[in-house]
Amino acid sequence: MKATSPLPWICLFGLLAGCAAYRVAGQVQTGRQALIMNEPERALPYLLEAAETNPNYVYRSMDFHEGVWTYVGRAQYGTGRFKEARDSLERALALDPDDHLARLYLGLTLARTGDDARGFKEIERAMIGIHEWLDYMERTRPIEAYWDPLREIRTAIQQELATLPGKDFNRAQLIANAEWLGRRFEVEVDEVRGAERRDFNRGIGRRRGGLSVGIGVGF
């Protein structure tokens, strides 16, 4: 009997895996945009399905990355599903302890459920982590200066850190400002991607222009 080649099956499995990965990426992006528009109820089904398909999926954009469970937890937080949000965000931090947005929203979730002491401590750690990450990006990419170029985010963080417990402290204002920070940082991710894409396209245009001049002179 003639042996059947496994190659067609390998190709089929590869195609199916590629389709699944593409679908998960699209679901996360749709969920992200819904969160940015402050529509967590619309975001949640997309993000949950993505997490169920690939629980280790990580969204990447330029130098930024964020796990799918962080997005799920943020959507659950936004819809008042605090127990589920805590589980998702703790899972995200177990996968990546440096996920500052997961820590920020875990702190918010804890504060919303009455654990102010730990909640505000997590918010403080997250804010410090975000500030340090933005400083690192500025220090290591001084020419590009894509991230927080006007220091809007870092200034807001500095002002908030100055009013944390032990000083003049407004609980409701801290929660509101932390929620603003989470949304604003997600917007920053898209703004940075757009700025880098524009610079890349301008670079291509300049190279094409130089090539056209060279051809014109040479011929």
Give me the residue spans of the domains in the chain: 19-191
Q: Does the CA dihedral 137-99-24-54 come out positive or negative?
A: positive
Q: Are 77 and 110 in contact (CB under 8 A)?
A: no
pLDDT in tens, 110-138: 999 999 999 999 999 999 999 999 999 99
pLDDT beyond 70 at 152? yes
Mapping DSSP to helix (H, G, I), strand (E, B) and coil, where does residue 125 land?
helix
Q: pTM of the prediction?
A: 0.82
Q: Give me the phi and psi of 119, to 5 degrees please.
A: -60, -50
- Residue-level pLDDT at 208: 45
Q: Are 105 and 73 in contact (CB under 8 A)?
A: yes
Alpha helices in 37-144 (DSSP H): 40-53, 68-78, 82-95, 100-112, 116-140
Helix (H) or strand (E) holding 201: helix 171-218
| C-alpha–C-alpha distance, residues 212 and 177, integer Å | 52
Mapping DSSP to helix (H, G, I), strand (E, B) and coil, where does residue 104 land?
helix
Give the residue from 81, 57, 71 showing the smallest Cα distance to 186.
Answer: 71
pLDDT in tens, 39-94: 999 999 999 999 999 999 999 988 899 999 999 999 999 999 999 999 999 999 99
| C-alpha–C-alpha distance, residues 111 and 109, integer Å | 5
Domain 19-191 carries which CATH code? Answer: 1.25.40.10
Question: For residue 127, what are its two tokens?
Answer: 């804010």
